[in-house]
Chains A and B, each alone.
Chain A
Amino acid sequence: MSADVELDCRDLPCPRPIIELAKALPGVPVGGLLAVVARDPAARYDVPAWCRMRGQEYVGEEAADDGAPRYVVKRLS
Chain B
Amino acid sequence: MSRTTEVYLDSASSARLHPAARDTLLAALERGYADPRRLHGPGRDARLLLDNARAVVAECLGVRPDEVGFTSSGTEGVHRGLLGLTTATGRDGIVHGAVEHSSVLHVVQWRDSPAHASIPVDADGVVDVDALAAAARAAGVGAVALQAANQEVGTLQPVDALDLPAGVPLLVDAAAAVGHVDLPRRWDALTASAHKWGGPAGVGVLVVRRGTRWTNPFPGDDGLDQVGGFPDVPAALAAAAALQAVLCEREEVAARQFAQVERVRSAAAALPDVEVVGHPVQRLPHLVTFSVLYAGGDEIVAALAREGYGVASGSACTASTLEPSHVLAAMGALTHGNVRVSLSRDTTDEEVDGFCAALARVVGEIRAGAGL
Contact = CB atoms under 8 A, between A and B. Distances in A.
Interface of A: 13-15, 18-19, 22-23, 40-42, 44-46, 48-50, 52-54
A49 B334 contact: yes
B336 A15 contact: yes
Nearest to B298: A13
Contact of B335 (A23, A49, A52, A54): A49
B333 interface: yes
Contact of B336 (A18, A23, A52, A54): A18
Contacts of A23: 371-372
Interface stretch (B32-40, B48-56, B197-205, B316-324): B316-324
Given A46-B335, A49-B291, A49-B332, 18 more contacts: A14-B315, A14-B317, A14-B335, A15-B293, A15-B296, A15-B336, A19-B370, A19-B371, A19-B372, A22-B372, A23-B372, A42-B336, A45-B328, A45-B332, A49-B275, A49-B333, A49-B335, A52-B332
B258 interface: no
B332 A50 contact: no
B84 to A, nearest CB: 33
A40 B316 contact: yes
25 contacts: A13-B296, A14-B296, A14-B317, A14-B324, A14-B336, A15-B293, A15-B294, A19-B371, A19-B372, A22-B294, A41-B324, A42-B315, A42-B316, A42-B335, A42-B336, A45-B333, A45-B335, A46-B324, A46-B335, A46-B336, A48-B332, A53-B273, A53-B293, A53-B334, A54-B273
A40 to B, nearest CB: 7
A40 B323 CA distance: 9
B329 interface: yes
Interface in B306-348: 315-317, 322-324, 328-329, 332-337
Contact of A45 (B293, B295, B324): B324
B157 to A, nearest CB: 21
A19 B192 CA distance: 40
Contacts of A54: 273
A14 B296 CA distance: 7
A49 B294 CA distance: 12
B294 A19 contact: yes
Contacts of A18: 293-294, 336
Contacts of B372: 19, 22-23
Q: Is the interface of A mostly helix, strand, loop or mixed?
A: helix
What's the interface size class on B, roughly?
Answer: 20 to 34
Contacts of A53: 273, 275, 293, 334
Contacts of B333: 45, 49
Contacts of A19: 294, 370-372
A15 B299 CA distance: 11
Counting chain A CB atoms within 10 Å of each CB, the highest count among B291, B316, B322, B332 belongs to B316
Q: Which 10 A-B pairs have the closest CB atoms?
A: A15-B336, A49-B334, A42-B324, A14-B336, A45-B329, A42-B316, A42-B335, A45-B335, A19-B294, A19-B370
A40 B293 CA distance: 16
B369 to A, nearest CB: 10
B326 to A, nearest CB: 10
A57 to B, nearest CB: 15
A24 to B, nearest CB: 12
B238 to A, nearest CB: 40
Contacts of B291: 49
A48 B330 CA distance: 12
A15 B334 CA distance: 10
B126 to A, nearest CB: 18
Contacts of A42: 315-316, 324, 335-336
